Structure 1
Amino acid sequence: MKIGITCYPTYGGSGVVATELGIELAARGHQVHFITSSQPFRLTGREANIHFHEVSVSTYPLFEYPPYDLALATRMAEVADFYALDLLHVHYAIPHSVSALLASEMIESHSVPARRRRLPFITTLHGTDITLVGLDPSYLPITRFGIERSHGVTAISAHLRERTREAFHIDGEIEVIRNFVNCDLYVRRPDLVAEMRPRFAEPGEHLLVHLSNFRPVKRVLDVIAVFARVAQTIPARLMLIGDGPDRSSAEQLALRYGVQDRIHFLGKQDNVHDLLPVADLMLMPSEMESFGLAALEAMACGVPAIATRVGGVPELIEDKQNGFLFEVGDVDGMAASAIDVLRNPSRLEVISQAARRTAQEQFCATRIIPLYEEYYRRVLERNA
């Protein structure tokens, strides 16, 4: 198949999933065309069967804000026409689904009759496009319209599917296809861990990790609070991978707790698959997670997560089996759990193995990508 993929090419979960999906599809022989404002950060530009098409937005004095959604629709239609794409797959509803709708209608009403055809598009819902931005009164009607006019809709968790139906009164099909991880890439390699761990922790110290875009919903300040309690009790250090609006506040809180010299602020990293296996535990105290991709990536590396019982996280983590679940804001409970399991190496090993097994048996790319391929075929057959 020839597939056009549009996403936000940033460090957010939707962009990561879309990019990894394109990489996996290309590896399976499909021709993948990324149509985005810049090259997705996880692409190297050397992947076979992957093409990148930049969306450029003209600036004009009349426009207070450049009309990116219209430029995107135009570029989608151009790429679909030139490369004879079979379908478009857009990630994050706003504004990508509406741009795809415009592109689809442009192709169907092509000025050259011989080139008129159907161009189905699929919208994948990722979370805040539904639970936060999409519920804004300014965007709710257009978000609902884009979803309803999509030829196919998927959600990354059953929780998100139900939230979408309740909030937008969507009665049509929403296929649940959960996030995935490349289990061959995200894996604990003892030799690599032995090489890299001394950079972040001394012998006898425990190492915790947090990975996010440091937005308020990720509650990175709770990460600092949990770690400070852990570090007061047992020797420990913390890796913070990512960046965002709450980084400065996190640094200030670390200073107040007096743990700034035990925290590695690593910023945005492309090689998280090398960093995650070095840790013992992940902290993910988010206020909302539609799935919890960061936790899945850690679990695939044999690093269980201490997380919050929100959104789609319970579809990934089974409390006290392959990780730990707490209520939002329960920093004392999270810290006590971390201390308890870190002091018990045999229990930590059992839970680490269960975390890895969950990733392998339920969320590996080899299991999830065929679900997308089958869904593409169903949408194409319905719209032949």
Structure 2
Amino acid sequence: MATDDGRRYLLGWARLVCAAVRRDRDGIFRRRWELAFLKSYLGEARHGKRNGKNGRKNILVTSYSGELGGMELRMAQEVRYLRAAGYDSGLAMRRFAGVAEWARRLAGERISLAEYEPPLFFEQWEWRRLNLWRARLLAGRRLRAFRADLVHVALCWTNYGASVLWLARHCRLPAVISVHNAFPHTSFSDWHQPLLKQAFSGVRGIYAVSDSAMTHFMALYRPYIAPGTRLAVIPNPVDTRRFRPSAALRLAARRSLGVPDDALVIGSIGRLSEQKQPGTALAMLGMLRKAFPNLYLVLVGTGPLEADVKRQADRMGLAAYVIFTGFVEAVEELLPALDVHLLLSRNEGFGISTIEAMACGVPAVATNVPGSADILRGSEGGILIPQGDLKNAAPMVAALLIDPERRAVMGRKGRAEVEQRYSEEVVGELVRAFYDGLV
């Protein structure tokens, strides 16, 4: 055990005791998580499993994260791909609601998830100068302790993750970036510009989950990207063994949801948040039920709008036809119950639930926004509808509901598209090719 690491471990125990004396639940959580990581880290170092001992390069995957969503799940998949390609890899991110349970699930796969929350001097304006100095003095040392040969920084929104990217360069660690959304156009302040130049000077490669996400990213950051930086588009994957058409699952899921076997069911998988617009799905249900009185809506997920949408369903007299499932881990068991899947987002980097529905043979409907359009434009497995225009969008969905033969054809063709473009095997090859020569 290295002296500095041993001191950190002992100091962590001292801080845990202090937090327990103060009955500080938040502090106890933080210290236990940090100690669990350090114990694993030091144990591996002692047994010669770290880079330099077994000859494997170590890639740290990190980000600015606020919730468990599509980007975080993709980060964990990245670790799986990297390990299959012969690298050591693990996750490091901020603490957020539900992260402890997620960390326990990942631990079952021997994937480490460490807490890393450097001071934010890009992502927030207040105290940015003080936080930059704190990052230089403290967070850089913490980043070096991971002993990474390369840092992968996932960006879900403009500058979200840029503090870690700058710190990687400060620690003289090369970096790659993955882009998970279509960022709106903005301008950078005199404060940000020199820091962005420094941060991007250490970037060796950038990939985006869709062409739209890459286009938006380049429109913002092109002046800071060094010539020769590797660029690629690598979509999100879907496990085609888990997500598959199944008549048995369809019947079982409908019975568990409590809907009649002959009912029509539309549904949406995603957070109940402004971005996903669950209220719009409810409004569409109200319009469609005039022609389809046996139509139900299933909303899978939780989020800040859950209570509002439930009240909206009551006011509209639709509560009996709207099913709120809450968080569902095994969504592949529920998706086959749907006749049509809806993703009515205001914006998307890449609609994972869209390709999961297609993998299950369910026709996919999504608003015509970047990310979703990358999947469904020209697709035979789904359709794009106008965003913010229910008057014209609802009849397009009605045309699917009234035509079971069309839905069946779309389901078969959508499944074939997923197997060809988005299977874990196909995307895994793209990831391995992207990293080749960068580490």
Please report how far the alpha carbon of residue 369 of structure 1 lies from its aligned counterpart in structure 2 after TM superposition.
1.5
Structure 2 residue 170 is matched with structure 1 residue 78: no
Q: For residues 196 and 137 of structure 1, do their structure 2 counterparts lie closer, same or farther at Cα, with a shift above 3 Å needed?
A: farther
Please report how far the alpha carbon of residue 140 of structure 1 lies from its aligned counterpart in structure 2 after TM superposition.
6.2
- Letter paired with 1:53: A
Distance 2:306 2:187 in 1: 27
Distance 1:95 1:225 in 2: 33
Q: Which of 53, 56, 62 in structure 2 is aligned with 1:6? A: 62
Q: What is the TM-score of this pair, normalised by structure 1? A: 0.82
Tell me what 1:111 maps to: none
Tell me the matched-pair count: 359
Corresponding residue SS for 2:151? strand
Tell me what 1:344 maps to: 403
Distance 2:74 2:335 in 1: 17
Tell me what 1:202 maps to: 260
Q: Deviations over 1:32-66 (max 9, x none)?
A: 211123447655134445222223679xxxx9899
Q: Which of 177, 182, 192 in structure 1 is aligned with 2:234? A: 177
Q: Which of 276, 280, 284 in structure 2 is aligned with 1:222? A: 280
Tell me what 1:123 maps to: 177
Distance 1:98 1:259 in 2: 46
Q: For residues 28 and 355 of structure 1, do their structure 2 counterparts lie closer, same or farther at Cα, with a shift above 3 Å needed?
A: same
Distance 2:313 2:188 in 1: 34
Tell me what 1:33 maps to: 90
Query: Are the aligned partners of 2:151 and 2:168 in contact in 1 as well (CA < 8 Å)?
Result: no
Please report how far the alpha carbon of residue 344 of structure 1 lies from its aligned counterpart in structure 2 after TM superposition.
1.4
Please report how far the alpha carbon of residue 6 of structure 1 lies from its aligned counterpart in structure 2 after TM superposition.
1.2
Higher relative contact order (CA 8 A, sep 6+): 1
1:1-384 to structure 2, matched below 5 A, reads: 1-7=57-63, 8=65, 10-27=67-84, 30-38=87-95, 39=99, 44-55=105-116, 70=135, 73-80=140-147, 85-92=148-155, 94-106=159-171, 108=172, 119-127=173-181, 130-131=183-184, 141=193, 146-147=199-200, 149-170=202-223, 172=226, 173=229, 174-200=231-257, 201-234=259-292, 235-318=294-377, 321-380=380-439
Distance 1:104 1:288 in 2: 31
Query: Are the aligned partners of 2:58 and 2:150 in contact in 1 as well (CA < 8 Å)?
Result: yes
Query: Are the aligned partners of 1:281 and 1:306 in contact in 2 as well (CA < 8 Å)?
Result: yes
Q: Deviations over 1:216-242 (max 9, x none)?
A: 222222111112222232111111112
Query: Are the aligned partners of 2:239 and 2:424 in contact in 1 as well (CA < 8 Å)?
Result: yes
Query: Are the aligned partners of 1:156 and 1:179 in contact in 2 as well (CA < 8 Å)?
Result: yes
Please report how far the alpha carbon of residue 372 of structure 1 lies from its aligned counterpart in structure 2 after TM superposition.
1.4
Q: For residues 217 and 16 of structure 1, do their structure 2 counterparts lie closer, same or farther at Cα, with a shift above 3 Å needed?
A: same
- Letter paired with 1:96: G
Task: Structure 2: give runs of 5+ residues left out of the alignment.
Answer: 1-56, 120-125
Query: Are the aligned partners of 1:97 and 1:123 in contact in 2 as well (CA < 8 Å)?
Result: no
Distance 1:40 1:161 in 2: 32
Tell me what 1:114 maps to: none
The percentage of aligned residue pairs carrying the same residue is 21
Q: For residues 138 and 296 of structure 1, do their structure 2 counterparts lie closer, same or farther at Cα, with a shift above 3 Å needed?
A: farther
Distance 1:14 1:98 in 2: 18
| CA RMSD of superposed structures (Å) | 3.1
Tell me what 2:8 maps to: none
Q: What is the TM-score of this pair, normalised by structure 2? A: 0.73
Distance 2:169 2:198 in 1: 15
Corresponding residue SS for 1:34? strand
Query: Are the aligned partners of 1:35 and 1:75 in contact in 2 as well (CA < 8 Å)?
Result: no
Q: Deviations over 1:242-282 (max 9, x none)?
A: 22233233223222321111111122232222222221211
Q: For residues 221 and 14 of structure 1, do their structure 2 counterparts lie closer, same or farther at Cα, with a shift above 3 Å needed?
A: same
Corresponding residue SS for 1:379? coil
Distance 1:249 1:41 in 2: 27
Distance 2:355 2:167 in 1: 35
